[in-house]
Amino acid sequence: MEMTKFNLQFVKQEKHLLLPNISSIILVQNLYDILFQYAITEEKEQKLKNFISILETHIKSKSRAPFSLPVNELEFLEEGLEELKLLNWMEVPVAKFELQVSYIEGEPEEQLSSVLDYLGSIMTFKSEKDSNYIHVYPDTLVY
């Protein structure tokens, strides 16, 4: 089968906060306990619950890509961001690309899967849910 053609269009570089290399779901409960003190409003509490849910989903997925979120999405934690850094979370530059696939006749899902498998063999990235964007991590990361 011929490889489906694709392009990666650079969108921007973002500063992400990266989860240290830990695989235990216990981490999620510990983070919730630590960060809950910073959720002083109902809105912040809901954002914290969403953050923990996204983290749980990532850990359960057994993804090869690290877990990270743009720092600006975590600013609601305020001083809690510093707590995360004390827990060895790192700020890293992450490149955001738009994946453009030139589908040929056949199954688009299979073609997309083939492209993502190929990209996974040459770089560390994470797909952005429900979009055609990917986040590409620096090759110097050790996780």
Task: Give per-residue pLDDT as tens, 100-122.
Answer: 999 888 788 889 999 999 999 99
**Helix, strand, or coil (residue 138):** coil
Residue whose structure tokens are 């695989």: 23
So what's the pLDDT on residue 63?
80
Ranges of each domain in the chain: 5-136
What's the whole-model pTM score?
Answer: 0.79
Those residues whose C-beta lies under 8 Å from the C-beta of residue 55, and which sit 6 or more positions away, are 19, 27, 28, 31, 67
So what's the pLDDT on residue 140?
80
75, two tokens: 């600013």
Is 60 exceeded by the pLDDT of residue 21?
yes
Residue 17's alpha-carbon distances to 7, 99, 102, 111, 118, in angstroms, are 27, 23, 33, 31, 26
> Could you tell me the pLDDT band of residue 79, with boundaries at 50, 70 and 90?
confident
34, two tokens: 């630590």
Residue whose structure tokens are 């997309």: 112
Q: Is 89 exposed, middle or buried (0-12, 13-18, 19+ CB in 10 A)?
A: buried
Average pLDDT, rounded, for the chain: 85
